[in-house]
Structure 1
């Protein structure tokens, strides 16, 4: 059986420019990377890689030289005024890089409109050979697994994906058992990390933890083995483990190596 694809997510090594991230992934032993084409926040690094830019061409060279593949591209926010066509240049860039999936965030409180926007984005992505997965996060308008699955269903598209992250599963109050109600075809990849079992006291603290201080798989309080067994077998894992405190003394490649080694230990516990 071929080994499960394991990808280095941008948030794990956010200080690196995309070409350097590819080299980091290669040196640390990954098969794939996730590329942040569009920033998640206005304060994070901004990279000019949408369209035929010099940085994009350097990224393509680095991918070709290392053999690293692109798993996903992020982050595509669906707001009340979003039109799918607004994202076509970024989607075309993701396709040019060979990505499989687009990571989507729901930031529209009107669920029916959000489902329609998601359907339109999925349709546009499919035209470029890409899937799109809605990532539920407790501070967004796709708050938990059940709501994300409902939005995907309301989109009317069988290819509307749902992106599961152990962090968000825990912090949204969702349960592993809830995955049984989600069509397996919607679960095409998952993010992977760990976190203490105890929930932070406020949403602001949860958000800070999400963006800056997660734990390597197996070093927290989540039942990652049970989660792996509840998800479709062999789907790619994207290791999204920001550790800002550790990053003050440990470089990106070593942190990426530790995340991968920890993940392999959990996979072994799950029988892989």
Structure 2
């Protein structure tokens, strides 16, 4: 567990931050589904997921490509956007782009960019390389700049999520890449699970320029991982405030950058998947809202 950075916000800015939209990331509403290789589709229908998120209080929603495409097949672009609008879902996050650094056709990339433009998605989430192979940094900078340009043309942004078991493990490594890409639509997804497991102190998060932050995700976990980092992140995350993470320090640090939302809730665990969807999503909302409100008092 890291040490909180001493950062304070004015009452007006703190109140504004607490009232900003909260976003339920894709796994938070997915029910009994997980990111392990194989069939990652949620067994929960898109309408039930939207209703669960909206009913809990979320005004943002994340969708995985594997669930986005069936939802578009069922509702069409106009129908899906209407479903989101009717339930007060303002911010839409789409994921997950992998292999974007390679050349050649990429169906998932095309699907996500097209859907982002048609649905008015806030951003697309991209991942680094988890295979552990060699990589050419200059090639990656060029590829990420091209991806960001495609995102800008689609009216959205692309956020690179830092993964402590990948080739881009830390905020410092990710920030270096997106800076060198030099594209306004390029930035980072900062998930507290990944920054805490990478032992990144809140003060380092406070130093990230706001223009490079595309999204923020809050969650919690025990002080030490169990098993591999991937197994731990998929099976043992906790609701906010139920673990050992320095959420107070992280939230204060991110507010110091000027970030005021949307704040994502990304809850992944065996317990979460076994809980009825509406109950699980409501618990995710309550606990994220609680830790954000604590920082405003």
> Which residue is equivalent to 1:23?
51
Deviates more, 1:181-190 or 1:165-174: 181-190
Secondary structure in 1 matching 2:62: strand
> Which residue is equivalent to 1:92?
114
Q: Taking structure 1 as the reference length, what is the TM-score of the superposition?
A: 0.86
Runs of 4+ in 1 over 6 A off after TM superposition: none
Distance 1:110 1:28 in 2: 44
Q: 2:278 aligns with which of 248, 253, 259?
A: 253
> Which residue is equivalent to 1:132?
158
> Which residue is equivalent to 1:14?
30
Segments of 5+ residues of structure 2 without an aligned counterpart are 1-15, 32-43
Distance 1:98 1:70 in 2: 9
Compute the displacement of 1:47 (Å): 5.3
Compare relative contact order (CA 8 Å, sep 6+) and give the higher one, 1 or 2. Answer: 2
Compute the displacement of 1:33 (Å): 0.5
Aligned residues: 260
Compute the displacement of 1:61 (Å): 3.8
| Cα RMSD for the two superposed structures | 2.3
C-alpha contact 2:191 2:217 (8 A) present in aligned 1: yes
Q: 1:219 aligns with which of 239, 242, 254?
A: 242
The yes-or-no answer on 1:53 pairing with 2:79 is no
The yes-or-no answer on 1:189 pairing with 2:215 is yes
Deviations 1:124-154 (A, max 9, x none): 0001110111100012221111111111112
Distance 2:248 2:171 in 1: 18
CA 1:185/1:136 → structure 2, altered by over 3 Å: closer, same or farther? same
Secondary structure in 2 matching 1:256: helix
Compute the displacement of 1:162 (Å): 1.0
Q: 2:89 aligns with which of 49, 68, 84?
A: 68
> Which residue is equivalent to 2:188?
162
